[in-house]
Amino acid sequence: MANSASEKRRLERTGTDVETPDTRRSEAKGIETEIEAAEGLSETERKGTVERKLEHVLKDLEGLEQAEVSENAIDSRLSKAFRELEAEEKKEQRPLERQLEDAFKELAAEEALEKNEAAVDTSIPEIEPAKTELHEIEDGTHETKEEQQDLKKLTHFEWQLESRLRHESSIPSEALEHRIDPERVGDALSEVRKTGELSPKELTDAVEKLYSTVENPQLGSVHYAELYDTKENLETDWRRGLAKEIRANREEIERTLNERLGLAEDPGREVRVAVTDDRMYYWHKDTGPDKWLNVLEAEKIYLRSKEDKFELIDEAQRHLHIRGGNEVAQRNLSDVMNQLSHLEKIPANRICRYRKPPYLDGETLHFIGDTTGQSLEDLKPRLSHIGMKEGGRVYNLQFPDIHVYRTVFVAVMGSDGHHALEGWITYYEKDPERRRLAIDEFQRFGDIDIRLNPKRPVDVPLPKVLSSMAEHWGIPRGDKAIHNKGLVESVIKEPLEVKVTYLPPVVSEDGCFSGGRFTITRANVLHAGKKAEKYRKMFGIEPLVTQEHIDFVCEHGNEQDATLNYQKGETVRLCVKAIKGLEDSEDANVSRLAKDLLRIIKENPNRLLKDEVNEILAPLGIKMKRAPRHLVYYRDSGRLSLNSYASTKDVVDATRWALIAPPNHPRKMAKVVKFVRKHQDTVNRVRQEISDDGLSMDSIWEEDEL
């Protein structure tokens, strides 16, 4: 059979009359060698240019940090520098990519022609055609222009398919557990392709259907779907256009998806969605209050070395098969993270490799942990500290049982802890022993850098990370007596074995043991005086009494003697019992104001004390008497406060409290021990009741000591 035009071109190029498989392989190998040589030269040149520019970026970054330039300015400068590096990388890679593409196209075209001709050779008998002038002119070429164009398209598609197959074989084994089966992706998105409708509703339908293909998605799992079909030409793949539409409506789609999945009202979990040009990511995030990395999601957590940070980032990229050079892959991962984040302030490049010292925010660590299957305990050896120098640092991070730590933290903050409007936490305590006890409780999280002012040892400034904890756990900023908030919801929901840890610090700080009774005292503000306008504007808190009520207290109350903080006459006290005695006054105005004050007192009890009695003590079987005690007016600040108390009802309740949760204050504990020794019969009976109720006595009470 006559040689085809393609054979003639090959013979002309190789300079030989014999075309065999060996010569074809030799020719391909030669082309491959040329490409590798060009690639090596291009890579060397590229590295030289990119690395030189990268060195300039790092030097510039060090200069900015030494000059204490703001983080926003550094982020902006880094973003610009990385865009330039990425552009340089792409620019220098383009010639090599064209060479590779042309080489693959040419080889694929040759192979396709050979296959077609071989098929003709085996199906048609070799007949010597009658030579005509036309045949001689055409010299054996029978392809029309249309056939040549079709063949060109076919070989280009084969090249694309080969590229896709190489991609499939390159997926790391770690990524397969996160990858949604491509066949399921096609099935899930078939409806939206059929209709062509891309409204938010249809897009949400597609996203929900795709998510439903994940078998039994676990809380804390991460999955991704590749939005292209390995059987279609990439340039005409319709799913890339779909990805753009989903990204444009991502927030609405994510909100609607969680509503459909019944997660909108669930504070413990939600599905978050991110989209890139050819990928969709799902993060089934545990958003509950019982995870440290949720509490610390906006905090900078510093790692022990930059290598630790690089390894974590690279491992996450490998699990999600995020491709590209360091800068490209880093930017892609950062883009995914930013879409999945619900933080108010998101840095431009939150996983930047070149920050000194190395850190990651809590939410990023949470995502990396979920992606790589590492718990906080697994990550802990890589972590150094939390906090900046000026804000106070915490080293030797322990991440203790969050249930117990939160409960004790709330108890201590409810006494003498102050969560300032500016976001700082200060603990005020003049007694050195109680101050040390409180600091020890805070230190359970880690080694806190505490710098006491010798001139004001009463004030204990605490690291700013503790403010993040207070914020997350519902402890408001500002004067807690003005807010008059109840016990935080997370503590109310704790089981009894955790609730019992609330009581020892409460007795040590704001309680006492006297006369065979445990007593807690609390105060809430009825009028904020000079602070009233500020709290009205910031929190919408209105005064509960008028000036007429304040004048009534001053007229019928008693001026108090000098104390540590106030001079004689600066405070006026009026007992609730005395107010009740004025209800029946012959003076109608006095009677009216007395009754009105009693109504206000009844309608505005101390909410924290009420919750402590109803939600902590009552479930533990400890009966309490709770009542308002007196009003106090502070002349200098104009504040009117209501003081209330709660006390155990009898010896049995006091004994039960003593055995379950004795105070951790040495002097108060000594009183309790003396009381217990005195009531052995009651102790024996109550001990059995505690056991019957499924509770435990404190470990301090050994059998031989009772």
What is the average per-residue pLDDT within 301-325? 90
Note the pLDDT of residue 135.
Answer: 41
Please compute the mean of the pLDDT values over residues 465-488 and round it to a whole number: 94
| Range from 12-16, 122-126, 178-182 that averages highest in pLDDT | 178-182
Contact (CB, 8 A) for 568 and 562: yes
Share of the chain above pLDDT 90, in %: 51
pLDDT at 47 (0 to 100): 46
Q: Provide the Cα torsion 331, 334, 339, 342; round to 10°.
A: -150
Token pair of 90, please? 């792409």
Instruction: Specify which of 99-108, 175-184, 302-311, 382-391 reaches the highest per-range mean pLDDT.
Output: 302-311
Mean pLDDT of 26-48: 48
| pLDDT at site 459 | 84
pLDDT tens column, 149-171: 655 555 655 665 666 666 667 78
Q: What is the mean pLDDT of residues 404-410?
A: 97
Q: Who contacts 451 (Cβ-Cβ below 8 Å, separation ≥6)?
A: 392, 461
pLDDT of residue 451: 77
Name the 3-class secondary structure at 569.
Answer: coil
Q: Tell me, what's the pLDDT at 330?
A: 82
Give every CB contact of residue 247 below 8 A, 6+ residues apart in sequence. Answer: 275, 276
Give residue 277's pLDDT band: very low, low, confident or very high (50, 70, 90): confident
Residue-level pLDDT at 488:
94
* Mean of pLDDT values over 81-95: 56
Mean per-residue pLDDT for 45-63? 55
Helix, strand, or coil (residue 373): coil
Rounded-to-integer distance, Cα 500 and Cα 408, Å: 10
Lowest average pLDDT, out of 124-138, 314-328, 434-448, 454-468, goes to 124-138
80 confidence band (pLDDT: 50, 70, 90):
low
Stretch 421-447: mean pLDDT: 89
Q: Backbone phi, then psi, for 258, in 5-degree steps?
A: -65, -35
Closest Cα to residue 638, out of 565, 559, 514, 529? Answer: 529
pTM here is 0.75
**Mind giving me the DSSP string for 596-611?**
HHHHHHHHS--HHHHH
What integer pLDDT is reported at residue 114 of this predicted model? 55
pLDDT at 126: 45
When comparing pLDDT for 489 and 21, which is higher? 489
Residue type, 194: K
Q: How confident is the model at residue 86 (pLDDT cuts 50, 70, 90)?
A: low
Number of helices and strands in the chain (H, E): 30, 17
Instruction: Please report which confidence band the pLDDT of residue 109 belongs to, taking 50, 70 and 90 as the band edges.
Output: low
What's the confidence (pLDDT) of residue 111?
Answer: 56
Task: Write down the pLDDT at residue 415.
Answer: 87
CA distance 360 to 299: 8
Confidence of residue 4 (pLDDT cuts 50, 70, 90): very low
Q: Is the pLDDT of residue 259 over 90?
A: yes
Q: Which tops the pLDDT comparison, 274 or 165?
A: 274
Give the other-Cβ count within 10 Å of 509's Cβ: 23
To the nearest whole number, what is the mean pLDDT of the chain? Answer: 81
Q: What angle do CA 316, 317, 320 make, to 5 degrees?
A: 90
* Confidence label for 312 from pLDDT (cuts 50, 70 and 90): very high
Query: In angstroms, how far apart are the furthest CA atoms of the chain?
Result: 138
Per-residue model confidence as pLDDT tens digits over 658-679: 999 999 888 999 999 999 999 9
433 pLDDT band, cuts 50/70/90, is: confident
Kindly report the number of other CB atoms within 10 A of residue 406's CB atom. Answer: 23
Residue 703: per-residue pLDDT:
54
More confident residue, 517 or 189: 517
Model confidence at 649: pLDDT above 80: yes
Least confident of 34-48, 428-442, 506-520, 626-640: 34-48
Give pLDDT, residue 493.
94
| Averaged pLDDT, 396-420 | 94
Give the chain's radius of gyration (CA, Å). Answer: 38
- Find the range with the poorest average confidence among 265-269, 370-374, 492-496: 265-269
- Between residues 72 and 396, which one has the greater pLDDT? 396
Tell me which residue of 464, 475, 459, 388 sits closest to 427, measured CA to CA.
459
The pLDDT, as a whole number, for residue 468 is: 92
Q: Give the highest mean pLDDT range of 63-77, 414-428, 619-633.
A: 619-633
Q: Is the pLDDT of residue 686 over 90?
A: yes
The predicted model gives 141-153 an average pLDDT of 58
Name the pLDDT band for 139 (thresholds 50, 70, 90).
very low
- Report the alpha-carbon distance of residue 564 to residue 547 in Å, rounded: 28
- Predicted confidence (pLDDT) at residue 300 exceeds the cutoff of 80: yes
Vertex 477 angle, CA 475 and 480, to 5°: 70
Say how far apart CA 535 and CA 542 lie, in whole Å.
8
What DSSP element (H or E) covers 294?
A: helix 292-295
- Cβ neighbours of residue 574 under 8 Å, at least 6 residues apart? 553, 556, 557, 558, 630, 631, 633
pLDDT value for 187: 84
Q: Is the bond preceding residue 357 a cis peptide, omega within 30 degrees?
A: yes
pLDDT tens by residue, 612-645: 999 999 999 999 999 999 999 999 999 999 999 9
For 449-486, give the DSSP string.
----BTTBTTEEEE-THHHHHHHHTT--SB-HHHHT--
321-325, 396-400, 646-650: least confidently modelled range: 321-325
